[in-house]
């Protein structure tokens, strides 16, 4: 048996080949107003206002309040039910963060057919 040292990039490639790709350590989420956050929105034809509408509709549909808007990345929007959430706050990760995948945001805005999110999640929810 041969053991090969692997850096982060080669581990991700190997995981992707096996179909077990995991999120890398240091998962990045961009502030919505940042250039990177705006780029994520633009990539999907969305504006900050569109995202706000989708979050409002999500809160109403799911009967949950988004207390802190954390940001966006290639997977969608992230938030917390806690008001004033920060990653360095004690217990910040004791409760799961809210995630709204892009497909669900588009569905909430009426830009994809109803139940697209359900079909997406049933198929494994992998857009990569």
Residue whose structure tokens are 């969305």: 46
pTM metric for this prediction: 0.72
24-70 pLDDT tens trace: 567 899 999 999 999 999 999 999 999 999 999 999 999 999 999 99
Domain boundaries, the chain: 24-122
* pLDDT mean across residues, the chain: 83
> Which residues, 6+ apart, have CB-to-CB distance to 125 below 8 Å?
101
Q: How large a percentage of the chain has pLDDT more than 90?
A: 66
Q: What pLDDT does residue 126 have?
A: 59
Q: What pLDDT does residue 114 have?
A: 80
Cα(78)–Cα(119) distance, integer angstroms: 21
């Amino acid at each position: 048996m041969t053991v090969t040292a692997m850096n982060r990039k080669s581990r991700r490639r190997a995981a992707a080949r096996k179909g077990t790709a995991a999120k890398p350590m240091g998962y990045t989420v961009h502030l919505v107003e940042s250039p990177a956050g705006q780029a994520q929105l633009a990539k999907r034809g969305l504006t900050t206002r569109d995202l706000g509408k989708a979050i409002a509709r999500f809160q109403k549909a799911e009967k949950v309040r988004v207390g802190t808007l954390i940001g966006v990345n290639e997977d969608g929007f992230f938030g917390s039910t806690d008001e004033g959430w920060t990653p360095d706050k004690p217990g910040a990760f004791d409760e799961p963060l809210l995630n709204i995948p892009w497909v669900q945001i588009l569905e909430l805005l009426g830009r994809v057919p109803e139940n697209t999110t359900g079909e997406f999640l049933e198929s494994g929810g992998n857009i990569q």
